[in-house]
Chains A and B, each alone.
Chain A
Amino acid sequence: MSEKENNSSFIIPNSAFWSSVWAIVWKDLQIEKHTRQIVSVMIMFSLVTVIMFNFALEANLAAAREVATGLLWATILLAGTLGLNRSLAIERENQTMEAILMAPINRSAIYLGKVISTTVFVLILEAILVFIFIIFFNKPYWRPQVILVLFLGTIGYIAAGVLVTSMTIQTRTREVLLPVLLLPLSLPLVLPAATIVSSYMFPQLPELAEIQTPLSLVLVYDLLMLAVGFLTYHYVVES
């Protein structure tokens, strides 16, 4: 046997690591291109949720506009669990995760690849949701600051979600277990993120100092979850 480069125990990502990450992302995007089963399911679920909510609060438009930001985040979180479940279920069917695990790649690359591809799917959903919310609730969700916070919130949520889904996907009660574990875990992220988005819904934009604390919480959550996932995914998929 020849001694090729061994990168599976490296923590510092090198070109081989990013090549593995891209392979996972490319594969997930190809599957979605053929099936469209992740994004379409999330969009359908979100549309139904928003329409039902809109009917429920039809009599009180002011109240609907008041809670719109909360509804936006709740819809993203719930639709996100569907996307996460499907994204990891693909690897459970036909046990393809075993074929991936047999490849000489860093397990963190699998994690990062899954985070990136699932984030792409949820960002597509968010683009559509933002458009719908602007029409339904007539609020300025188009502001770049709002888009940035949605993006940062999505990264943290998916970073935590891929880790939790990878743990629950082998259980029989995975559909129930995922939201039960993930939604409470997402609270420290969603509360400050929703606070920031709400503060940009008024004509008077907030000063940076006003959103500094919630923004720091969102960034810390993102970094913490990515680091935990990066460092522990090896144990999650191999145990």
Chain B
Amino acid sequence: MIQIKGLVKNYGMNHVLRGVDLHVRPGEFVTLVGSNGAGKTTLLRIVATLQQATAGQVTIGGWLLPQHASRVREHIGLVSHQALLYGDLTAAENLTFFARLYRLENQQERVATALKTVGLLARQRDAVSTFSRGMVQRLTIARATLHEPDVLLLDEPYTGLDQDAARLLDDLLRRESANGRTILMITHDLTHGLNLCDRVAILNRGKIVAEVDSAHTNPAEFLELYTEHTRRREKRRKRPVSGSGSSE
């Protein structure tokens, strides 16, 4: 479903992505973990058609980006740590607006169903600015899945959530995954990263350095693997530059 080959993204002399290769199969839930500055958000923004790569290839459902970005947009939904919702509009108005943008049929019905799914039907007439962080995040999921996208992209969805809200989000994501949606989530929360998904990839300094099947990896092993990869890279980064210019 998502095929990333040799993806490179530079901001001037800052090399954020240095040749990322990743394949997410249809219906698969893949989590991308990495420390701050690893390039996770940049990678997700490129897949979400919000940025363009410097080099490399990204295809979603066989459509090449950015050439077929408009076709891809019909099939992806994005949940970010930013709500991407209007605080001054009610929950129902927010969803109605996005239903109109996506030219969905039976808009009122779909909005009501989406609000019911995330448990916000009773608050549909309340302004989003009055919602708690957890409620906003649930509404964000309703917004991102309103047009029933094949691919759901999640950018640090657990940021700012308390335990109860995080558990609710877990349930929603499990439901979306069970419905056959392809999910790519980026997070630095290793516990959630491993628990929910089928596969975890570790991104460090703009490269995928390891991939593990979550069903066959326990949290302790994964933490060890993550620490090993990120520490090794950190050591390389901290090594003083020698006068001869040799690195490894």
A: residues with CB less than 8 A from B are 1, 3-4, 6-9, 16, 19-20, 22-23, 26-27, 30-31, 34-35, 90, 93-96, 98-105
Contacts and interface: CB of A to CB of B under 8 A. Distances in A.
B28 interface: no
Contact of A8 (B73, B93, B98): B73
Interface string B119-145: 000000001000000000000000100
B103 A1 contact: no
A2 B183 CA distance: 19
A96 B84 contact: yes
Interface stretch (B15-23, B75-83, B201-209, B230-238): B75-83
B88 A34 contact: yes
Interface of B: 48-50, 61-63, 69-71, 73-76, 78, 80, 82-89, 93, 97-98, 100-103, 127, 143, 150
Contact of B101 (A3, A7, A105): A105
B160 to A, nearest CB: 13
B83 to A, nearest CB: 5
19 contacts: A4-B74, A6-B70, A9-B70, A20-B103, A23-B97, A26-B100, A27-B89, A30-B97, A31-B89, A90-B88, A93-B87, A94-B85, A94-B87, A95-B82, A96-B85, A98-B80, A101-B49, A102-B49, A102-B73
Nearest to A90: B86
B127 to A, nearest CB: 7
A35 B100 CA distance: 22
A126 B27 CA distance: 55
Nearest to B73: A104
A225 B87 CA distance: 31
A9 B73 CA distance: 13
A27 B63 CA distance: 31
B78 A22 contact: no
B71 A6 contact: yes
Give the interface centre of B70, B75, B89, B98 by most chain A CB atoms within 10 Å.
Answer: B70
A31 B75 contact: no
Contacts, number: 87
A165 B73 CA distance: 26
A96 to B, nearest CB: 6
A94 B83 contact: yes
B154 to A, nearest CB: 14
A101 B70 CA distance: 10
Given A30-B93, A93-B87, A1 B63 contact: yes
Given A19-B103, A31-B88, A94-B82, 18 more contacts: A1-B150, A6-B71, A9-B70, A20-B100, A22-B100, A27-B86, A27-B97, A30-B93, A30-B97, A31-B89, A96-B85, A98-B78, A99-B78, A99-B85, A99-B98, A99-B143, A102-B48, A102-B49
A101 B72 CA distance: 12
Contacts of A6: 70-71
Contacts of B87: 93-94
